[in-house]
Structure formats: C-alpha cells, structure tokens
Structure 1
C-alpha cells in the first residue's frame, strides 16, 4: 500500500467518510502542489511594440522615447543567461519587425520571430501564434511567459494558456488584464526572480 493510500485510509477512519472520496481529494491536492512548485519559465514572448514605440517611424524622436521603455538589451541578456529563450510575436510586418530588431541590436538574442502575415497564423490574440512558437521551440505553453503592453497581448497569453502574462504599464495606472504588471521591461527579470520561477543562472 502506497503512502497516499495509507494516509487516505487513516483519514477515512477518522472522518467516517467513504475511502474513495478521500483518495480523490488527496490526488487533486498532490497534483496541484506539484504544479505550483515545479513551474519554470523557459520562453519569454514579446511584441516589438513594447520594445520601441512606433517602430515603423524609427528616428531621433523615437530613439529618445525608447529610453522610457527600459533596458531592452540588458533584460534580454539576463533572460538568456537564465536559459530562457526569447521569441518575438509581432503584429507588424516582417520588414518593420526586422528593422526594429536591427535598430535595437538584439538580433543574436532572439530565438524565433513570428509576424502578423506569416502563413498559417491568425491575427493576435489567436492562440495559433504562441502555439506555433511552442511547436518550433519545443517549450510547453505552461512554461511560457507573455510580456506586452496591450490588452491584446494579455488575451493572447490567456488564449494560449501560458504560465504567466506580464503587462508593461508605466505608472501602473492602466488595466491590461495581466497576471502581473511592471513599470518597464527592466523589471521583468526581477519579477520572475521574486516569483521564484527562475532557477539558476548560467555563467
């Protein structure tokens, strides 16, 4: 007799309840506990919109305004050092997306890019976007965190049943429908650390 059945049996005698009911409760409890303690994020999904505003108009004005978004390069480096893959899921065209990625100098840190008009993808927030990324990277949706600055990004995460959605909301005065919100992209990795969802840093 396994430990769970022995415990269930003892509770059954004490409570005077049918043994099968106690066993079912025990199985649900154990499963939930494992899910809560073993989750580890292995893939972060971003849209280029929260990396640089108005990416189709990259100029000196946008270069200045991008400073308010946070440290994109530093955040991406931290994610890579933690073994977390990075995906771009953009609502923009592939040309505009490539231009933004090149402008920010993050090409070598991105593992996969999906764009609005890619074949077989439906517009965000359809789950096909994250499903496709997961299929190509071998990461389960439960190990994915979606980071965005619009309600559409958060709905994409919910539709795809990802492990966590993080909304970027400067000043904290917006309701994006995210699981967690931060002021800038710079706070994403510290948030994951506080949640205990990054295990060990690579050196």
Structure 2
C-alpha cells in the first residue's frame, strides 16, 4: 500500500458496496431463479443453491456465483444446474432483470451527497461492477451521482471482467492516473484481487455485501463497516 496522500482516484464496486446487498439483491435473486427455472419452484431452489444462496434464509455465501459473478457467469452456472435455456437466452433475460432492479435498490447512504463530497475534494471517481453497464448508469441516475462519475465499467463494457485488472486499467486510462494513485473499494474478493492484480495503491473492503472480515482480510488493506468510513482511511 502506498502513502494515503498519493490516492487521487476511487473505483467503487456497485452491489454490496454502494448498495446494501441483502436489501437490494436477495429479492432479485429469488426472481432471477424463478425466471431461470420457468416457474418450477423445485428447480428454482436448486439454481439458488448452485449460485451460493440458501433459498430459505436468503444468505449468500461470500465470493459465490450470486455474490461475485457477472451475468454470463451466472447464466452459465444456472444452465449447467438445469435451467432450460441457452446461456445466451438466459443472459439476455437476466441482464434485463438486473437493469430494472435499479428501481428497487437500497443505497448504503445518500449516494448523491457522498459522491458530491468526494468530487469536491478533487477525487476522480468511477464504478466498476460485474453487473451490466446499463444497470450501473440507471443506478447512478436514480441516486443522483451520475454527474460525479469520470468512469463506468460493467462486465459488458469491453474492459474484461473481475478479478482481471482491465476495469482498473480502464479507469486509469480515462482519468490519467497511475494504478498506485487508485483505491479500489468493494465487498468481495473479486474486487480486492482485481485491485491487487492492477497494482493499485490501496484495496478497501466493506461489510455491506456478502463478505466478512475473515473472508476479506487477506486481500484488503482496510476492512470498513461501510463506505461512509472511507474518508478516514484516505
């Protein structure tokens, strides 16, 4: 980790980081399993289990398919577990569901004010998510922080997928920063490993997603309760 004074850019994950994962995505996971199972309740439960979610409690395992996978990965896993679609068909259906889900998302804090404050301090700001780019932009628009973003990358934006370094390197190219000047903030190890593989100055984990202090400890420089504690480590 480099000196905190070197940090000039912040690249956030979306789900579980800006948005409360349990409140925002557990209901969506039930719906995506229903869609993938074509309404077959038993199959839907099987698909949720394959994705790492307990159908009874709603608990999602850290770094599981539903916690960290992109749409193509989820669709591939579900088809492999018995969903009666092709991967391409299911990817299209799930991407549509995920884009609509922005309407029901629950933010961790007032994201408009949060991003405005960081922007006023001169930070370059971006969002890199395993969700599709449309969904990220819909979320930013709904919660009033779209005007503060210098960069947006989804799994379908052409920068590669997590935990590869491409989304971070794209952020650096868009902002003129070096990786050592960037902090990656996320809720699972895909985010942390993406940051480490890109050579960022700092990796910060938050506990508003599916990860725990124990699961995130090895790959993060700091582990915070939520993003409102971020400025204290910057």
Taking structure 2 as the reference length, what is the TM-score of the superposition? Answer: 0.59
Q: Is 2:13 the counterpart of 1:47?
A: yes
| 3-state SS in 2 of match to 1:155 | helix
Task: Give 1:175's match in structure 2, choosing from 196, 201, 215.
Answer: 215
Q: CA deviation at 1:37?
A: 5.6
Per-residue Cα deviation, 1:49-107 (whole angstroms, up to 9, x for no partner): 111233832455x43xx3xx234333312211211110111111122111111111111
CA RMSD of aligned residues (A): 2.3
Task: Classify 1:58/1:129 alpha carbon distance in 2 versus 1 (closer, same or farther; 3 Å).
Answer: closer
- Cα distance in 1 for partners of 2:230, 2:200 equals 16
Q: 1:161 aligned to 196, 199, 210, which one?
A: 199
Cα distance 1:83–1:156, how it changes in 2: closer, same or farther (>3 A)? same
Structure-2 change in CA distance of 1:112 and 1:59 (3 Å): closer
CA-to-aligned-CA distance 1:130-164 (integer Å, 9 cap, x gap): 11111121000000000001111000110001000
Q: Name the TM-score, length of structure 1 as normaliser.
A: 0.67
Is the counterpart of residue 81 in structure 1 residue 120 in structure 2? Answer: yes
Could you tell me which runs of 5 or more consecutive residues in structure 1 were left unpaired when the two chains were aligned: 1-34, 193-203
2:82 alignment counterpart = none
Task: Kindly report which structure 2 residues correspond to 1:7-86, keeping only aligned pairs within 5 A, or say none.
Answer: 39-49=5-15, 50-52=17-19, 53=21, 54=25, 56=98, 57-59=101-103, 62-63=105-106, 66=107, 69-86=108-125
Equivalent residue number for residue 14 of structure 1: none
Mapped partners of 1:78, 1:174: distance in 2: 30
Q: 1:47 to 1:37 in 2, by over 3 A?
A: closer
Aligned residues of 1:75 and 1:188 also touching (Cα < 8 A) = no
Alignment gaps of 5+ in structure 2: 29-97
1:126/1:190 CA distance change after superposition, 3 Å: same
- 8 A Cα contact 1:45 1:146, kept in partner: yes
CA distance in 2 between counterparts of 1:179 and 1:38 reads: 11
8 Å CA contact retained: 2:2, 2:202: no
Select which of 190, 200, 221 maps to 1:152. 190
- How many residues end up aligned between the 2 structures? 152
CA distance in 1, matches of 2:4, 2:129: 30
* Aligned residue in 2 for 1:187: 229
Residue aligning to 1:140 = 178
